[in-house]
């Protein structure tokens, strides 16, 4: 019976409301007081039933809940035969609970949208080589799957054949399609907008990146901050205190109605609901925008950040060296470029890849008698000529004469933070390339946004040489920059800043910098959709998009402020209601319950504003 009544709580609310309306209409139109009273008595009993059951269940686990206060208040109203008050209080309480649930469901819409995006089926290659539709739970690691235009990628996998454009908004928050081809990684929950792909499953089910994101957001929305834990403890003692206050008032005044009114007005509903709804809405906004915040404790600490430390490679810079400038010292450059490309394509060094990308399509020659000079470069025979590719030290070893112009060019490129790749053919300098890791587009502007959000200290730590680090630091306007640092040096630096009283956030790639990410107050990973980043940090910026960092910090600050606003609103309303009981003539149970339920809706709607949060430019 208890389960049935609780399941039908919304129906009871509707019937209760209709009985109250019909009772008042009967009184006003026909003057039948008996119908009026019996309608209100029936409404009170129906409305009180689910409330009393919830109160009983709370008392069984030794919790004096809001339902206990309302149940006692309704019983008190019956004792003094104030059926209007009892009926209206029960209806408002139930209707308020209905509205709370509706609006709370909206704040959880982000996780609901995520779960609805989860793929349910896949085209799996069977033993006969044909593809058949199966439930996604039937897909195992190593299975080959076919994905057609418009279909969801069912697993994390690697493209075997085909090409196509994929919408990765469910992973990165970015709606622009990404081109995918052979050997590219694809992620579950993303959508193939055009093309056809065959993929091999690398991770399935809850182990996929999409599965981990859903799990993370669910855990974060259910987590509790220090503020919420305080409110839980406060409500635990506050509710019995209201009961005691009500009893004391009755003891001295012998006024049952006044005592019952205090029970109703003292309900701390808005206080209990205000902080969780802010937490849920803030984390939901982040999930929609490619920012994963691991719980409300993280939001609290992140909002107070005054120092942010950045790893250089892959964070402030793209992480892929590129040729910034090419200087030719001869007119016949075609052969020299083809010799350079022929040597570099046999190397997997990052600088070699940058050179090949810069040269593009060219003619390749057989490479013979290759000699690798440690710390210098490569010497080889190409097309019958001796070709040296490397730094200035290699050129000196090969007795290649550098003109005053070439020396000046080298000095300028190195001063600008470039690594040099020189090419000499038969002892004569032909080409000089400057290669540097490119700063992420728009990083300088995003750093300025962080300063406006209250981050006073922007610091870069890198394993690169100090000269290169200083150049990037000057270009970006950082407070400090330290080079030649190993992972343990970075971790020690973070530790020193925290001991000095700084609130430190460390931004890294989630792998090499894991000690620093763990030691900082807030570890922020440039995620790139990797499960390692998701598991090792407090905040994840999906797709390694630096633009999401100011949004993440602004959202954390807005969420923390929203929590405080809701606490002030809730406490203020309770104090106002209790003061009105003692110092005014107009306050009664019905008005008090109406204001009380109104305050709950106010804090919920205030929290829901976070779903639409956008960082102002």
Q: What is the pLDDT of residue 552?
A: 92
Give the separation between CA 312 and CA 321, rounded to whole angstroms: 13
Give the separation between CA 292 and CA 541, rounded to whole angstroms: 7
Read off the pTM.
0.66
User: Do the Cβ atoms of 549 and 450 come closer than 8 Å?
Assistant: yes
Is residue 400, in this structure, part of any structural domain at all?
yes
Q: What is the pLDDT of residue 20?
A: 82
Residue at which a domain ends, from 404, 435, 466: 435
Residue at which a domain ends, from 415, 435, 455: 435
- Give the phi and the psi of residue 76 in degrees, each rounded to 5: -60, -40
Name the residue range of residue 190's domain. Answer: 120-154+156-203
Give the separation between CA 175 and CA 353, rounded to whole angstroms: 30
Q: Domain of 186: which CATH number?
A: 2.70.150.10
Q: Which region, left, alpha or beta, applies to residue 389 given φ > 0 means left and ψ of -120 to 50 means alpha?
A: beta
Q: What is the pLDDT of residue 87?
A: 80
Regions of the chain short of the pLDDT cut 70: 1, 63-66, 96, 99-117, 169-176, 209, 212-236, 267-269, 272, 465, 510-514, 527-536, 617
Is residue 440, in this structure, part of any structural domain at all?
no
Q: What is the pLDDT of residue 106?
A: 54
Residue at which a domain ends, from 144, 176, 203: 203
Is residue 404, in this structure, part of any structural domain at all?
yes
Give the separation between CA 449 and CA 549, rounded to whole angstroms: 9
Is residue 149, in this structure, part of any structural domain at all?
yes
| Helices marked H in 322-430 | 333-344, 350-359, 392-397, 404-415
* Active-site residue, selected from the candidate residues 67, 143, 156, 311: 311
Q: What is the pLDDT of residue 173?
A: 47
Q: Domain of 375: which CATH number?
A: 3.40.1110.10
Is residue 247, in this structure, part of any structural domain at all?
no
Give catalytic status of residue 416 as yes or no: no
CA proximity to 512, closest of 540, 542, 534, 532: 532
- For the chain, what is the domain count? 2
Is residue 399, in this structure, part of any structural domain at all?
yes
Is residue 566, in this structure, part of any structural domain at all?
no
Is residue 131, in this structure, part of any structural domain at all?
yes
Q: What is the pLDDT of residue 423?
A: 93
CB atoms within 10 A of CB 334: 10
Beta bridge partners of 457: 307
């Amino acid at each position: 019976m208890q389960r049935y009544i609780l399941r039908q709580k919304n129906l009871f609310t509707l019937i209760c409301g209709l009985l109250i309306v019909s009772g008042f209409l009967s009184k006003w139109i026909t003057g039948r007081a008996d119908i009026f009273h019996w309608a209100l008595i029936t409404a009170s009993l129906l409305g009180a039933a689910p409330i009393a059951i919830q109160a009983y269940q709370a008392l069984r686990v030794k919790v004096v809940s809001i339902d206990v206060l309302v149940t006692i208040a309704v019983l008190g109203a019956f004792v003094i035969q104030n059926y209007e008050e009892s009926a209206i209080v029960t209806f408002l309480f139930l209707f308020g609970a209905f509205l709370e649930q509706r609006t709370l469901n909206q704040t959880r819409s982000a996780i609901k949208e995520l779960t609805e995006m989860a793929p349910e089926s896949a085209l799996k290659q069977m033993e006969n080589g044909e593809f058949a539709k199966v439930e996604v739970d039937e897909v195992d690691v190593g299975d080959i799957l076919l994905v057609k235009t418009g279909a969801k990628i069912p697993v994390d996998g690697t493209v075997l054949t085909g090409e196509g454009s994929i919408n990765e908004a469910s992973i990165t928050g970015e709606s622009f399609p990404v081109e995918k081809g052979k050997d590219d990684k694809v992620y579950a929950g993303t959508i193939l907008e055009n093309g056809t792909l065959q993929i091999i499953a690398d991770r399935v089910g809850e182990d996929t990146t999409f599965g981990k994101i859903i799990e993370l957001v669910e855990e974060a929305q259910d987590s509790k901050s220090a503020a919420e834990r305080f409110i839980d403890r406060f409500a635990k003692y506050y509710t019995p205190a209201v009961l005691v206050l009500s009893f004391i008032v009755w003891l001295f005044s012998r006024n049952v109605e006044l005592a019952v009114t205090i029970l109703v007005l003292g309900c701390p509903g808005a206080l209990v609901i205000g902080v969780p709804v802010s937490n849920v809405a803030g984390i939901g906004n982040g999930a929609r925008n490619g920012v994963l915040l691991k719980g409300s404790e993280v939001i609290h600490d992140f909002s107070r950040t005054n120092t942010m430390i950045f790893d250089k490679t892959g964070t402030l810079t793209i992480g892929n060296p590129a040729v910034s400038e090419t200087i030719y010292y001869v007119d016949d450059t075609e052969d020299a470029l083809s010799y350079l490309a022929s040597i570099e394509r046999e190397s997997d060094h990052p600088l070699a890849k940058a050179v090949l990308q810069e040269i593009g399509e060219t003619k390749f020659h057989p490479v013979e008698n290759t000699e690798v000079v440690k710390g210098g470069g490569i010497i080889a025979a190409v097309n019958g000529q001796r070709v040296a590719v490397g730094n200035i030290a290699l050129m000196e070893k090969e007795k290649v004469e550098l003109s005053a112009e070439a020396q000046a060019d080298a000095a300028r490129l190195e001063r600008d933070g470039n690594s040099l790749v020189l090419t000499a053919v038969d002892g004569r300098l032909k080409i000089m390339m400057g290669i540097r890791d490119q700063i992420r587009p728009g990083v300088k502007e995003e750093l300025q946004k962080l300063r406006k959000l209250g981050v006073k200290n922007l610091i870069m730590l890198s394993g690169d040489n100090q000269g290169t680090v200083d150049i990037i630091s000057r270009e970006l306007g950082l407070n400090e920059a330290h080079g030649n640092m190993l992972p343990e040096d970075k971790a020690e630096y973070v530790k020193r800043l925290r001991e000095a009283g700084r609130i430190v956030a460390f931004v890294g790639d989630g792998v090499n910098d894991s000690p620093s990410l763990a030691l900082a107050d807030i570890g922020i990973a440039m995620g790139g959709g990797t499960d390692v980043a998701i598991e090792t940090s407090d905040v994840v910026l999906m797709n390694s998009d630096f633009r999401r960092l100011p949004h993440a910090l602004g959202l954390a600050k807005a969420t923390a402020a929203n929590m405080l606003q809701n606490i002030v609103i809730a406490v203020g309303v309770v104090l106002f209601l209790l003061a009105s009981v003692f110092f005014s003539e107009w306050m009664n149970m019905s008005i008090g319950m109406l204001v009380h339920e109104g305050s709950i809706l106010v804090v919920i709607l205030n929290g829901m504003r976070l779903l639409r949060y956008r960082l102002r430019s």
